[in-house]
Chain A
Amino acid sequence: MSHRADKGGEGVNAPEALLSVQGLQKHFPVTKGLLKRQIGAVRAVDGVSFDVRQGETLGLVGESGCGKSTTGRLVTRLMEPTAGKIFFEGHDITHMSQSKIRPLRRDIQMIFQDPYSSLNPRHTVGAIVGAPFRIQGVQTEQGTKKAVQEILELVGLNPEHYNRYPHEFSGGQRQRIGIARTLALKPKMIIADEPVSALDVSIQAQVVNLLEDLQNELGLTYVIVAHDLSVIRHISDRVAVMYLGKIVELADRKSLYDSPMHPYTNALLSAVPIPDPARRKDRERIRLQGDVPSPLNPPPACRFHTRCWKAQVICKTEEPPLAELAPGHQVACHFPENVEQATAPAAAKVAQNVEEALHPKKPVV
């Protein structure tokens, strides 16, 4: 099937990055009273920047309410960003109109979390998976039905089930139908929002393996949003850890999991239960106190300082920038861990920060 329209036009921005997000923000207004007076804003995503390279998998991980799903929806333009820029293949798609964005939807597709609510119960599998062809007006050589059946086979479903309804399938099979729908128009990039968290343990592995196989076969680029650090480690090439609307650490998988620098990443990793009682003993456990603060009124400066055991005065007054402390390893922290591999200037910056913390210019409560 070679039904992709050639779009032509060379990129204007960073050609190697398929997707580039710069300073992305999404604030949801909070209104009160009859006149809907705005009394505040939930800063769901507050200045997020990252690149996704062709063919790689970026994992977005964090606790509930950290803005990871919102980021996914902003990138697919299912939501309108408050500020910031989104470049796809070098084109600025941040505020592109609906009619202009529609051809682009072929290239960016989304897999949703809940396989029960993301499929229309009154449509057959054929209608669901064939919908992209219909909406985009794509003609295929041997008709839509043949194309749909090929895709069903690709994701491991029986092509004969073309006329069945979603309720006749199990959770894992439904998620495969959702994946088949995203693959229909041969997208370049797929945003998957918690693709396996609603599935049973034994089925999760099937879907994870399917996503991997499809990537190898079709050269897809993934952005995977998930809260499960083990799944993210398994599937991602690079990982971004989010906390309260900001990226606190962004690194390739190995250095993030082997030598996490941000205290929050360390705490998250140590909280993951490991299914082996014999190995649990030698793990260092970090217990975070309390809950994630409300994004309506996030803590000033470093947003993690209310739960951080390393927090100093400077953490409450000055926001740490997302800085590259090791090659390809960005961290937003004044007192990062595992900095022995850090480059000299970064180490100097840390020293300077410590100096400032010990001798603040003005007294801080």
Chain B
Amino acid sequence: MRPVNPASRGSLLEVEDLSVVFRQRGRADVRAVDGVSFSVSPGETVGLVGESGCGKSVTSLAIMGLLPKRGVRVEGGVSFDGTDLLSLPPDKLRLLRGRDLAIVFQDPMTSLNPVVPIGTQVTEVLTRHRGLSNGEAREEAADLLRRVGIPDPSRRLREYPHQLSGGMRQRALIAAALACRPRLLIADEPTTALDVTIQAQILELLKTLVAESGTALILITHDLGVVAGTCDTVHVMYGGRIVERAPRHELFAEPRHPYTGGLLASVPRLDQPRGVRLQPIEGSPRDVIPWARGCAFAPRCPNRVEECTPVAPELLGDRHGLRCVNPLRSDQPATKAVPR
């Protein structure tokens, strides 16, 4: 796809040095997100990739102001079209949320209210933010459901979430998120709970929406396959930090960070010969005590050198950002063909 240069297009969302610290009495603070910076332009799709616990979902909740006030310290800046979201009073933020900012959560089973019909949950957004009457809102809601590919929308509007299949529930959620034509949509693992054939439908739907309405999309996922098909720019996160950032084609053609390379080498792929033994990343994310001294990935890293531990490396590089002192060289393949 086209090369993305946020500076020239004027970015819609700017996240500057965002940190989220969870504090619990009697325990050490947990720094779930540490110095995350990125920007999203209208019509651009940005991917946040990483395994569970890497901070990708907390980042999205912090942007939306959905983290609890108590026991959480959010630092840094989140600027949406010039407005600082972090310092915005709650009532002003509520006006933006649902209208200009929308989020789709991972689990369509739990993010819809089970005792409220689908129709009410979709029209609520329309009556509140666009001031439509109930009748107008119902018509608009039916139209939205049709656009996201739900057949027989007027009947579905009267139904309850349990009467819909998982794929349809996720589509209803997307319909509600899109009701006010948001300028920024955050999709947090939108297809993880779905089957592959439904996943393909939902991703296609999101892509069409971005192309048609110029919505800026932040796609959060652990699935590199999903990222490869949708995102313009990809940010790989590990231990609360962005460890690598690159345009999609560059990242997949030439991963530089050992973690990115390791992720790519550890998934079995349909497009590669099968006689390759999987290359797992040693250890597990919980083995590390992150945000101690040095690189959080160092204990699992095959390229570990002495310089990794005293100080954490900075995210360097403009177009292809990298947080590593000893990155993968281009002659060092991420996937080694090991005979079985």
Q: Which of B7-15, B99-107, B279-287 contacts A (4 or more CB under 8 A)?
A: B279-287
Given A63-B195, A268-B196, A278-B252, A201 and B266 touching (CB < 8 A)?
yes
Given A200-B52, A205-B280, A273-B226, A230 and B270 touching (CB < 8 A)?
yes
Tell me, rounded to whole Å, the shortest Cβ–Cβ distance linking B206 to chain A. 13
**Interfacial residues of chain A within 265-284, with CB under 8 A of chain B in the complex:** 267-269, 271-280
Verify B252–A288 contact, CB threshold 8 A.
no
Q: Which residues of A contact B266 (CB under 8 A)?
A: 201-202, 204-205
Q: Which residues of A contact B204 (CB under 8 A)?
A: 287
Q: Which residues of A contact B278 (CB under 8 A)?
A: 205, 208-209, 234
Given A205-B278, A273-B225, A278 and B249 touching (CB < 8 A)?
yes
**Interfacial residues of chain B within 217-270, with CB under 8 A of chain A in the complex:** 222-229, 248-249, 252-253, 262-264, 266-270
**Interfacial residues of chain A within 152-178, with CB under 8 A of chain B in the complex:** 170-173
Q: Which residues of B contact A268 (CB under 8 A)?
A: 196-197
A52-94 vs B, Cβ < 8 Å mask (1 yes, 0 no): 0000000000011000000000000000000000000000000
Verify B263–A201 contact, CB threshold 8 A.
yes
Q: Which residue of A has the minimal Cβ distance to B204?
A: A287
Given A273-B229, A274-B228, A280-B228, A290 and B274 touching (CB < 8 A)?
no
Tell me, rounded to whole Å, the shortest Cβ–Cβ distance linking B338 to chain A. 10
Q: Which residues of B contact A31 (CB under 8 A)?
A: none
CA distance A279 to B264 in the complex (A): 15
CA distance A288 to B196 in the complex (A): 10
Q: Which residues of A contact B287 (CB under 8 A)?
A: 170
Q: Which residues of B contact A253 (CB under 8 A)?
A: 274
Asked if A231 is an interface residue, CB under 8 A from chain B, the answer is yes
Number of A residues with CB within 8 Å of any CB on chain B: 44
Tell me, rounded to whole Å, the shortest Cβ–Cβ distance linking A336 to chain B. 19
A-B contacts, CB under 8 A, total = 132
A201-213 vs B, Cβ < 8 Å mask (1 yes, 0 no): 1111110110010
Task: Give the contacting residue for B200; candidates A201, A271, A276, A278; CB below 8 A.
Answer: A271
Interface residues of chain A: helix, strand, loop or mixed (majority): helix
Number of B residues with CB within 8 Å of any CB on chain A: 47
CA distance A204 to B267 in the complex (A): 8
Q: Which residues of B contact A205 (CB under 8 A)?
A: 266-268, 278-281
Verify A173–B197 contact, CB threshold 8 A.
no
Verify B229–A280 contact, CB threshold 8 A.
yes
Verify B51–A271 contact, CB threshold 8 A.
no
Given A202-B51, A202-B281, A234-B268, A277 and B229 touching (CB < 8 A)?
yes
Given A201-B222, A202-B262, A275 and B228 touching (CB < 8 A)?
yes
Task: Give the contacting residue for A272; candidates B225, B280, B281, B286; CB below 8 A.
Answer: B225
Q: Which residue of A has the minimal Cβ distance to B53?
A: A200
Chain A CB within 10 Å, residue with most, of B166, B225, B262, B270: B270
Which chain B residues have a beta carbon within 8 Å of chain A's beta carbons? Answer: 51-52, 151, 165-168, 195-201, 203-204, 222-229, 248-249, 252-253, 262-264, 266-271, 274, 277-281, 284-287
Top 8 closest pairs, chain A to chain B, by CB: A273-B225, A205-B280, A234-B268, A205-B266, A275-B224, A205-B278, A202-B281, A63-B195
